C-alpha cells in the first residue's frame, strides 16, 4: 500500500490482506475536545495557548468561522526533543464577538455548527450558517426550538428543522430552557456552553426532555467548561444550572488529548490481528467516553493494557461475539461492528439509533457494506446484528462521505488467513479528512506481512 495524505488521495485505495499488525500510533487530537476548546477560548477573557489541536476538516471550519467572526488567532509549530507540536494562540473576546455579520461554512461538523448556533443566537448579530449537502439533512430543530422559546431569532432558509440557518439578534429572557436529549447530545452541549453568557444577572437552568443519549460527551463539555472557570450544577442527567456572574477565563495553556474514537481502529486491529498495537495520546486519564471502547474489546476477548496516556491491544485467539448497549460510545461502536466480522458467532449492537442522523445513515450503510463482505446482517431502527461469514469476501466498499466508514472498513483487510487473499477496495478514501487526514498512512504503519 502506498502512503497518502488528505491532499493527495486517489479515488480509491486497494488494501492487500494484512497478516499481522504491530506498532505504535501517535493519535491526532480529539475532535470533540478541539472544537469545544476553540469556542471556549474565543468566548473567554484572555489569550489561550492550545497545544496539539486536531488539524482536520472539522476544526478547519471552526477556525475559519472564528476568523470570520473577528476572533484573532494564530498558529505556530513547536518542537520538543521528540515531537513536533501544533500550537494555536486564541485571543478571547470576553463573551463578545467582534463581527456582527458573517456567512459561515460549517462543512459537516456537528461540533462546530451546533455550539456556534447557540453562541451566535445569544450574542446577537446577523449570521448565516450552512454546510455540505449532508449537513442540511442533519437535524438541528431541537436546538433551534430551545433557543427560540427563550427569545432567539433563528429561522430556516431551507427545510424546517435543518440547516441552513439565519440568525438575527433576539430579546433573551432565559432563566429556564428545555431541550430534547434523544436525537443528539450536541444540542445540550451547545446550550451548556452558552449558559454563562445568558446567566449574567440570574441563574440559568437547562432541563432535558426525554432520554439523553451519548452522555459521556456532556461530561467532556462540563469538564472543559470547568477548565475555563465555569461550574455547572447537575441534577442527574435531567437538569443543569449555571449560577450568575461566572465568566469564561482562559486557563493559559491547554493541551488537547489524542482522539479516543480514532484510537478505536488501531486497538481493534491489535485485537483482531496479533498486536500489540499501542496508541499514544489517550489512556486512563482521558476525559473522553470513547476510551470505554476497550471494555467492549475486552468482552470480546482481547488483551488490553493501559497507562495514563497510552492504551495497548493484542489478540488472544479468535474474538468472541458481543451483545451490548452502545449508546454511550456511538462513534467507536462502529468499529465493534467490524470487529464482529472476526468473532465466532453473532454480535448485536443495541441502542444506536443516533447512527441514522450522522454523516450518513450509518445503520443502513454499515449493513449494506458488511453484506458485501459476506456477513449476514439484520438492521433495526436502533440496532444492528452481525453474523460473520466463514471467510470474509473481498469487496469494493462505498464510504458515503463518512470518515468512519472508510476507517472501519480498512480493518476488513486484516487477518489474511480469514480472507480469500483478494484486495479490499475502499472508495473515496479522502473522507477521512473530517477527523483524521493521515489515517491510511498511520494504518500502513502498523500493517505487516501484507500479501501483495
Ligand atoms: O459532542 C460531541 O463532541 C459529539 C457527540 C456525539 O454526537 P451525538 O450526541 O449526536 O450522538 C458524537 O457522535 C460526535 O461525533 C461528537
Ligand atoms: C458523528 C460525528 O461527527 P459530528 O461531530 O459531525 O456529529 C462523528 O465524527 O462520528
In the set 331, 398, 402, 428, the catalytic residue is 331
Residue 338 Cα to ligand 1 midpoint, Å, equals 20
What's the complex ipTM?
A: 0.99
Residue nearest to atom 2 of ligand 2 (CA): 358
Q: What is the DSSP string of 329-370?
A: -TTTHHHHHHHGGGBSS-EEEES-GGGGGSSS-HHHHHHHHH
All domains of the chain in start order, with CATH: 6-29+258-450 (3.65.10.10), 31-255 (3.65.10.10)
Regarding predicted confidence, which is higher, 352 or 170?
A: 352
Using most ligand atoms within 8 A of CB, pick from 57, 106, 111, 289 the residue to mutate for ligand 2: 111
Q: Which ligand is nearest to the CA of 108?
A: 2
Give residue 200's pLDDT.
Answer: 87
Q: Is 415 annotated as a binding residue?
A: no
110 confidence band (pLDDT: 50, 70, 90): very high
Catalytic, 259? Answer no
Q: Which ligand is nearest to the CA of 187?
A: 1
* Cβ-contact 104, 65 below 8 angstroms: yes
Predicted confidence (pLDDT) at residue 2 exceeds the cutoff of 60 = no
Q: Is 185 annotated as a binding residue?
A: yes
What span, in angstroms and rounded, lies between the C-alpha atoms of 226 and 248?
Answer: 9
Give residue 5's pLDDT.
Answer: 41
441 confidence band (pLDDT: 50, 70, 90): very high
Residue 107 Cα to ligand 1 midpoint, Å, equals 15
Predicted confidence (pLDDT) at residue 99 exceeds the cutoff of 90 = yes
Predicted confidence (pLDDT) at residue 35 exceeds the cutoff of 70 = yes
* Cβ-contact 169, 153 below 8 angstroms: yes
Residue nearest to atom 5 of ligand 2 (CA): 110
Q: Is 91 annotated as a binding residue?
A: no
> Which atom belonging to ligand 2 lies closest to the Cα atom of 334?
10
Q: Which ligand is nearest to the CA of 351?
A: 1
Strands 101-105 and 310-314, bridge-based pairing: unpaired
Q: Which ligand is nearest to the CA of 330?
A: 1
Q: Is 49 annotated as a binding residue?
A: no
Residue 59 Cα to ligand 2 midpoint, Å, equals 12
Residue 420 Cα to ligand 2 midpoint, Å, equals 33
Cell digits for 204?
440559568
Residue 191 Cα to ligand 1 midpoint, Å, equals 14
Residue with cell 486557563: 251
What span, in angstroms and rounded, lies between the C-alpha atoms of 435 and 283?
Answer: 19
What span, in angstroms and rounded, lies between the C-alpha atoms of 298 and 271?
Answer: 9
Helix pair 57-68, 110-123: axis angle to 10 deg? 20
Average pLDDT over the chain reads 95
Pocket of ligand 2 (CB under 6 A): 108-111, 331, 358-359, 404, 435
Which residues neighbour 69 within 8 Å (Cβ) at sequence distance 6 or greater? 42, 97, 98, 99, 102, 104
Pocket of ligand 1 (CB under 6 A): 32, 110-111, 184-186, 189, 213-214, 217, 330-331, 354
Give residue 268's pLDDT.
Answer: 98
What span, in angstroms and rounded, lies between the C-alpha atoms of 52 and 37?
Answer: 11
Query: CA angle 141-145-148, nearest 5°?
Result: 135
Mean pLDDT within 386-414: 96
240 confidence band (pLDDT: 50, 70, 90): very high
Give residue 173's pLDDT.
Answer: 82
- From the centroid of its chain, how far is CA 178? 24
Residue nearest to atom 16 of ligand 1 (CA): 32
Q: For residue range 261-288, list pLDDT tens digits in order.
A: 999 999 999 999 999 999 999 999 999 9
Predicted confidence (pLDDT) at residue 1 exceeds the cutoff of 90 = no
Predicted confidence (pLDDT) at residue 3 exceeds the cutoff of 50 = no
Q: Is 205 annotated as a binding residue?
A: no
Q: Is 286 annotated as a binding residue?
A: no
Residue 417 Cα to ligand 1 midpoint, Å, equals 36
Using most ligand atoms within 8 A of CB, pick from 107, 217, 263, 351 the residue to mutate for ligand 1: 217
Q: What is the DSSP string of 216-272?
A: HHHHHHHHHHHHTT---EEETTTEEEE-TT---B--SEEEPPBPHHHHHHHHHHHHH
Q: In terms of pTM, does the model score above 0.95?
A: yes
* Cβ-contact 412, 341 below 8 angstroms: yes
Residue with cell 486519564: 285
3-state secondary structure 55-111: CCHHHHHHHHHHHHCCCEEEEEEEECCCCEEEEEEEECCCCCCCCCEEEEECCCCHH
Amino acid at each position: 500500500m502506498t502512503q497518502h495524505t488528505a491532499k493527495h488521495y486517489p479515488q480509491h485505495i486497494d488494501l492487500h490482506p494484512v497478516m499481522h499488525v504491530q506498532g505504535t500510533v501517535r493519535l491526532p487530537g480529539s475532535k470533540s475536545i478541539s472544537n469545544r476548546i476553540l469556542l471556549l477560548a474565543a468566548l473567554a477573557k484572555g489569550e489561550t495557548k492550545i497545544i496539539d489541536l486536531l488539524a482536520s476538516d472539522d476544526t478547519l471550519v471552526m477556525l475559519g468561522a472564528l476568523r470570520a467572526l473577528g476572533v484573532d488567532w494564530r498558529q505556530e509549530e513547536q518542537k520538543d526533543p521528540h515531537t513536533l507540536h501544533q500550537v494555536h494562540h486564541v485571543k478571547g473576546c470576553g463573551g463578545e464577538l467582534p463581527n456582527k455579520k458573517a456567512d459561515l461554512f460549517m462543512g459537516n461538523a456537528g461540533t462546530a455548527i451546533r455550539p456556534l448556533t447557540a453562541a451566535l443566537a445569544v450574542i446577537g448579530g446577523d449570521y448565516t450558517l450552512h454546510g455540505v449537502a449532508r449537513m442540511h439533512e442533519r437535524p438541528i430543530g431541537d436546538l433551534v426550538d430551545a433557543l427560540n422559546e427563550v427569545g432567539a431569532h433563528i429561522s430556516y432558509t431551507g427545510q424546517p428543522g435543518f440547516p441552513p440557518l439565519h440568525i438575527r439578534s433576539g430579546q433573551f429572557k432565559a432563566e429556564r430552557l428545555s431541550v430534547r436529549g434523544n436525537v443528539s447530545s450536541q444540542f445540550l452541549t451547545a446550550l451548556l456552553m452558552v449558559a454563562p453568557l445568558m446567566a449574567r444577572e440570574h441563574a440559568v437552568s437547562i432541563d432535558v426532555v426525554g432520554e439523553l443519549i451519548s452522555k459521556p460527551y456532556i461530561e467532556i463539555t462540563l469538564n472543559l467548561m470547568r477548565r475555563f472557570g465555569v461550574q455547572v450544577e447537575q441534577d442527574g442527567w435531567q437538569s443543569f444550572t449555571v449560577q450568575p456572574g461566572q465568566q469564561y477565563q482562559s486557563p493559559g495553556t491547554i493541551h488537547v488529548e489524542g482522539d479516543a474514537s480514532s484510537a478505536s481502529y488501531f486497538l481493534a486491529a491489535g485485537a483482531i490481528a496479533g498486536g500489540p498495537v499501542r496508541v499514544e495520546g489517550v489512556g486512563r486519564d482521558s476525559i473522553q467516553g470513547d476510551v470505554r471502547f476497550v471494555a467492549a474489546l475486552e468482552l470480546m476477548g482481547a488483551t488490553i493494557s493501559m497507562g495514563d496516556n497510552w492504551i495497548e491491544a493484542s489478540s488472544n485467539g479468535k474474538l468472541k461475539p458481543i451483545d451490548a448497549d452502545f449508546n454511550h460510545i456511538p462513534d467507536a461502536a462502529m468499529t465493534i461492528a467490524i470487529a464482529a466480522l472476526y468473532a465466532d458467532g453473532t454480535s448485536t449492537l443495541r441502542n444506536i439509533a443516533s447512527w441514522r442522523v450522522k454523516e450518513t445513515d450509518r445503520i443502513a450503510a454499515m449493513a449494506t457494506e458488511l453484506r458485501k463482505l459476506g456477513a449476514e446482517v439484520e438492521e433495526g431502527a436502533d440496532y444492528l446484528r452481525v453474523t460473520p461469514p466463514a471467510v470474509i469476501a473481498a469487496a469494493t466498499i462505498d464510504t458515503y462521505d463518512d470518515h468512519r466508514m472508510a476507517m472501519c472498513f480498512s480493518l476488513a483487510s486484516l487477518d489474511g488467513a480469514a480472507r480469500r487473499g483478494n484486495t479490499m477496495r475502499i472508495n473515496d478514501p479522502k473522507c477521512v479528512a473530517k477527523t483524521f487526514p493521515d489515517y491510511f498512512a498511520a494504518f500502513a504503519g502498523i500493517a505487516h506481512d501484507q500479501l501483495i
